Amino acid sequence: MYRIVIEREDDVYMASTIGKRVAEDFGLNKSQQTKLVVSIMELTRNIVFYAGKGELFIKPVPSYGIEIVAVDQGPGIPNLDQILNNKKVHSKTGLGLGITGVKRLMDEFEITSTVHQGTKVRAVKWFSEGQVSQID
């Protein structure tokens, strides 16, 4: 398991690079690798922008998938329901796929956020059939 402290833009790229390497090492195909890496970028970018500081955990779970957990003790997301229901909440930058993009790209997705306490996102990219085979 990897733990990456996220507090500046460079940490976003560090986390993405590690995520890419783990995805390759565990045999995800290119499109699954990209989905994982983009998700890591979105979640860590949010930490830098909105929480200032947090952590990303990258955990490969054999015969299951790669789990990412992004946690921060920032301001929390008061309008989370609205964001998840995608009522056109205008983004600051408008560049990324945002939280709903991560939900779409990953196979499992959970978010909990408490105002003044922080935000935690857990998501998993499964190893798909054909990518994992038991060899002994």
Ligand X SMILES: Nc1ncnc2c1ncn2[C@@H]1O[C@H](COP(=O)(O)OP(=O)(O)OP(=O)(O)O)[C@@H](O)[C@H]1O
Among 77, 105, 106, 124, contact with ligand X (rule: CB under 6 A): 77
Is the Cβ–Cβ distance between 18 and 58 less than 8 Å?
A: yes
Shortest separation between residue 93's beta carbon and ligand X, angstroms: 4
Question: Which residue, 58 or 127, has its beta carbon nearer to ligand X?
Answer: 58
Among 57, 67, 73, 75, contact with ligand X (rule: CB under 6 A): 75
Among 24-32, 61-69, 72-80, 128-136, which window interacts with ligand X (CB under 6 A)?
72-80
Is the Cβ–Cβ distance between 38 and 13 less than 8 Å?
A: no
Q: At what angle are helices 30-46 and 98-105 packed, to 10 degrees?
A: 150
What is residue 120's three-state secondary structure? strand
- Return the number of other C-beta atoms located less than 10 Å from residue 123's C-beta: 24
Question: Which residue, 54 or 98, has its beta carbon nearer to Mg ion?
Answer: 98
100 CB contacts (<8 Å, ≥6 apart)? 83, 84, 86
Among 4, 58, 99, 124, contact with ligand X (rule: CB under 6 A): 99
Residue nearest to ligand X as judged by C-beta position:
98
Shortest separation between residue 4's beta carbon and ligand X, angstroms: 15
